[in-house]
Every structure is written in structure tokens, then in C-alpha cells.
A = this chain, B = another copy of it.
Amino acid sequence: MDEFSFIESIKQHTYNQSSLIKGIGDDAAVFSSLSQNIVSAVDTFVEGVHFSKETMSLFHVGYRALAANISDLAAMGATPAFYLVSIVIPKGWSQEELLQIFNGMRHLARAYKMDLIGGDTVSGKEMCISVTVIGFTMKDKARYRSTAESGDIVFVTGTLGDSGAGLHILTHSNNYKEASYYINRHRMPSPRISFAIGLGHLARVTLNDISDGIASEANEIAEASNVTLLLNESEIPTNSSYNQFPVELQEKWKLFGGEDFELLGTIPPKDWDKVQQIGELTNTNVTKIGEVVEAGKNGKVILKQKHKSILLEKKGYTHLK
């Protein structure tokens, strides 16, 4: 594969972002920030660890890698602007295969008017894709995990567990209801950008995106904010046909499955109406699932189930005495 001609083939001929001064084609990209704040994150995906060609086309591999990164920008309340892609390609891969990955990213990038402004293509033994995203927020409007306060409402967007269910369907053939819905949620997650940006005028919103499972991200908020989150399991939203799966898998995907790329947040009760309105305006289901009940030195998450409460930890739970 000729690296020069490949870069030429993925290079955008026109750019969307007015802040971009120089895109691909020099030692680095250059942009201005229009006196906003700049947000940047990176995420890496390795074949066989984070995805498999058996359950994903290369188009979906690219789509999902960028979606996961855009979801980090959503969790910061940032508007996506740019991405840089670094790919390790095993020998024997064709330029056509590589293009499919970039097509998947481009498809999603177009929806957000994001520009590809840099990258690197190197050869190696295993396929590995690393995406850096850059976005903007208004001054002092980035949303952190550390701002939750006692009395806040805890909410989540969309439905949880869908991505885990989708992967299960792809790897366990059977007759499932809404199979394509779940598969789509696994392969082409929807970062909640418009909803997160819609929250922009609110004074204080705590946000985190669900990439490792709500148990993990709720604990991140509890720890960063030094508060206790009290969640009601019965209120955690799932899709209408989600109960077709074995109960223990439902729980596993919903709490620990992750990769739904929904947003978990907390908000003062006075602003809850506004959050719901923004949800409606941006076609985003928003569900209250609990509250922030106390401040403490060690953040923790308690999940109220039907007949008991459990201490929800990042990778599992222990029963409360």
C-alpha cells in the first residue's frame, strides 16, 4: 500500500469548521479557538480486544471508534470539531479495507460537521485504531464529573444494556425480537451531543458517558464529587423487548455492560423541568433514576432493588448489611 496515495484518498477536499486554518498536509493541523474552551480526548481500539471482524464490518469499526470519542465530548458538553486518526495496519490488509474504516468514521463525522485534520498510518502485526477528538465549549461551560451535590436528581439518557444485548445476538444465534435494533445499538451508537449542548445554558450539570457500564460511571461521579448516589434499579430505562433476555444477562448488560454511550448526569431539582424539555427538543429520552443523597469523603453508589439495597461497585456489587 502506498501511504502517500492513501492519505490523498482520505483527505477531505473541503473542510466544515470555520476555525480550521490548516488541515491535513503539513507537519500538524492549525486552528483557532474563537475564545472558547478547547476539549480533547483519545481512545484506542484493538482488534480481538475491542472488536472482532466477525461481529462488525470495517465500516462499523470506524464508526464506533469515532462514536466512542464523540461520546466523551458529549460528556464534557463540548461541540465536536476535529479528529485525528492513527491506525496500525497488519500486512496483507488492502487499501480498500482501510478505506472502509475511514468511511465509517466519515459517515459519523459528517453528521457533526467534524473535520479530519491529521493522522498516521503505520504497519504492524495487529489492527489498532487510535482516535483523538477536539471540540469546543463556551467559556467555563465544560461539564465535569466532580460537580454533583446532595439533593441533585440523577438522570440517564436513552436505554441501557442494548449494546450488550446486540453483541449477544451477534454471537448467539436464535430468534430474537428487535434483533436489528440491538445490533444497531451495538455497532452504531449515537453519542448524545445535541442533548449535551442543549444543556449549555444551565448553570451546573454533572455529566459522564456510559462506556464501561453505569456502575463504573456512577462511581466515577460519586468519587469525583465526594457524594453518595442512590439509584433505583426499577427506574433504569431499558428497551421494551429487553425482558426477552435471561434476567442475569439483563442485569449484567444494564449495570456493567457499558458501551451504550448514553449520558449519566446529575442536576439540581429546580432545573429538572428544563432537562426534560431539552430531551424533548433533541429527541432524547431522559429518565430520572435516583438522587444524590449525601456528601461524604468517600463517594459511593447504592442501588435500591425490589427487596434490598446493594453497594454498586465499578465491576460488581456487595450486599449491604
A residues touching B (Cβ–Cβ < 8 Å)?
21-22, 25-33, 35-46, 48-50, 72-73, 75-76, 78, 82, 84-88, 117-120, 122-126, 128, 130, 132-135, 137, 139, 142, 144-146, 207-209, 224
A178 to B71, CA, bound (A): 52
CB nearest to A4 among chain B residues: B314
CB-defined contacts of A22 to chain B, threshold 8 Å: 142, 144
Partner of A37, one of B31, B41, B118, B137: B31
CB nearest to A209 among chain B residues: B27
CB<8 Å pairs between A and B, sample of 5 = A26-B75, A40-B118, A41-B118, A42-B84, A86-B86
Partner of A137, one of B30, B41, B119, B120: B30
CB-defined contacts of A86 to chain B, threshold 8 Å: 42-44, 86, 130
A44 to chain B, nearest CB (A): 4
CB-defined contacts of A32 to chain B, threshold 8 Å: 33, 35-38, 139
- Shortest 9 CB-CB contacts between residues of A and residues of B: A28-B41, A33-B33, A27-B75, A46-B124, A27-B72, A130-B130, A30-B142, A44-B86, A132-B132
A222 to chain B, nearest CB (A): 14
CB-defined contacts of A144 to chain B, threshold 8 Å: 22, 26
- Decide yes or no: A21 and B122 within 8 Å by CB, A30-B38, A33-B33 being known contacts: no
CB nearest to A21 among chain B residues: B37
CB-defined contacts of A31 to chain B, threshold 8 Å: 37-38, 40
Contact across chains for B27 and A76 when beta carbons are under 8 A apart:
yes
CB nearest to A29 among chain B residues: B40
CB nearest to A125 among chain B residues: B126
Contact across chains for A126 and B123 when beta carbons are under 8 A apart:
no
A134 to B84, CA, bound (A): 12
A26 to B223, CA, bound (A): 12
CB-defined contacts of A39 to chain B, threshold 8 Å: 28-30
A134 to B28, CA, bound (A): 9
A41 to B123, CA, bound (A): 19
CB-defined contacts of A208 to chain B, threshold 8 Å: 27
- Decide yes or no: A41 and B21 within 8 Å by CB, A33-B33, A86-B130, A88-B128 being known contacts: no
A216 to chain B, nearest CB (A): 10
Not counting A27-B73, A32-B36, A49-B124, a sample of 4 additional A-B residue pairs whose C-beta atoms are within 8 angstroms of each other reads A33-B38, A40-B82, A44-B122, A44-B130
CB-defined contacts of A120 to chain B, threshold 8 Å: 42-44, 130
Contact across chains for A134 and B44 when beta carbons are under 8 A apart:
no
